[in-house]
Amino acid sequence: MIILSAQKVIFVVTHGEEFKDRLEPPLHLATLVALLEAEAKMIYTMSAGLLLKKGVPDKLKAIGKENTLLETIQEAKEAGVKIYVCSPVLDMYNLTREDLIDEVDDIVGGMYLVTESLEADVTYTF
Amino acid sequence: MIILSAQKVIFVVTHGEEFKDRLEPPLHLATLVALLEAEAKMIYTMSAGLLLKKGVPDKLKAIGKENTLLETIQEAKEAGVKIYVCSPVLDMYNLTREDLIDEVDDIVGGMYLVTESLEADVTYTF
Amino acid sequence: MIILSAQKVIFVVTHGEEFKDRLEPPLHLATLVALLEAEAKMIYTMSAGLLLKKGVPDKLKAIGKENTLLETIQEAKEAGVKIYVCSPVLDMYNLTREDLIDEVDDIVGGMYLVTESLEADVTYTF
């Protein structure tokens, strides 16, 4: 087994539901990182934030998958992945915290995104 | 205040005007980095280069924003952000330096992009 | 000449053929890295995997280019670039290794992508 402990990987997710090929891969990769006991943080921003609106991920399926996006999110959470939404998403689409699914760990600002990336070993922007 | 001095963050911007949710966030993040006195360099490439064509950014508004894209670019510049366009953009769309807005600091090649990323602490590709 | 030896750059390619502005730049950048004698690995995932299906890249041309995508891929390979496809692409689109062009060096899993990025100096996600 590869030991990644004390390493941190950030996944900035930026594409919304019209990109069906992009729904599952970031969650899959983040889950792998968490299973290796490294820190995996996903930050949903731009139109990807809408993927985490109540009523949305339970109706979406990735290409070739049986599971809904919500189930894939829940699997990631069980593995230890943290899920954040970037605060400008709420302004852009007139949403409040209550409009988002409970699986979202927190709302964060751009400064959080930048400082987390500076501390991370890898930052992916999907 | 977080001290990021001597750190460098590269923002490779790749999506054009049809992606209204992606216009403002890279500029916002780069501005944050510059305000922390770290080096923030944005390199516009692929169809994102067309965002910096004269007559374009003054007519574009990001979702939920009052400011035009040009005003957001000017705010970033005032904070110290450097803005570059990748030279293949000029070839791809038959443009010259004179077709781009004055806020563009320079035209750079792919080698610049690669070597800047190798020196940077973080490279985002939006 | 800039010496990048022993450095490694990963290019995660994620966008498919509908994004004509995105076909050539990752290959161009990876070729530059390889010509500097650094390690350049491209991992095609999401709908970008379909770019490497037999019969596809020989019919695609990037904006403003005379060469086909296949010819650009072959130039990259000659420079030393390694080209991989992420295994979920095969599941997503019901493909086998035999459906992909011979220029693909190997099929790799998500764990390969993550561990290569952790070892790399830069990871671009185009």
CA distances from A113 to A84, A85, B122 (A): 10, 10, 11
Indicate if the pLDDT at residue A3 is higher than 80: no
Q: What is the pLDDT of residues A96-109, one digit of tens each?
A: 999 999 999 999 99
The neighbours of chain C, by the rule of 3 or more Cβ pairs under 8 Å, are A, B
Distance CA B45, CA A71 (A): 36
B22 interfacial to chain A (CB closer than 8 Å): yes
Mean pLDDT of C5-10: 85
Residue A13 backbone dihedrals phi, psi, to 5 degrees: -105, 125
If you average pLDDT over every residue of chain A, what do you get? 93
Q: What is the pLDDT of residues C25-77, one digit of tens each?
A: 999 999 999 998 899 999 999 999 999 999 999 999 988 788 999 999 999 99
CATH number of A8-125: 3.40.1260.10
ipTM of the assembly? 0.91
Domain ranges of chain A: 8-125
Of B25, B36, B123, the CB nearest to A88: B25
User: In the numeric block, which tokens belong to residue A113?
Assistant: 């995104």
CATH value of B8-120 in 2.90.10.10, 3.40.50.12780, 3.40.1260.10, 3.40.50.620: 3.40.1260.10
* pLDDT given for residue C4 in this prediction: 52
Distance CA A79, CA A35 (A): 6
C117 interfacial to chain A (CB closer than 8 Å): yes
Spatial strand order in the sheet of B82-86? B106-108, B82-86, B39-44, B8-13, B122-125
Of A91, A93, A118, the CB nearest to B121: A118
B92 interfacial to chain C (CB closer than 8 Å): yes
Is the CB of A45 less than 8 angstroms away from the CB of B33?
Answer: no
User: In the numeric block, which tokens belong to residue A99?
Assistant: 């409009």
* pLDDT given for residue B2 in this prediction: 57
Q: Walk along chain B (126 residues) in steps of 10 and give the mean pLDDT of each run.
A: 72 95 95 94 96 97 88 97 95 94 97 95 96
Is the CB of B63 less than 8 angstroms away from the CB of A92?
Answer: yes
Distance CA B54, CA C115 (A): 43
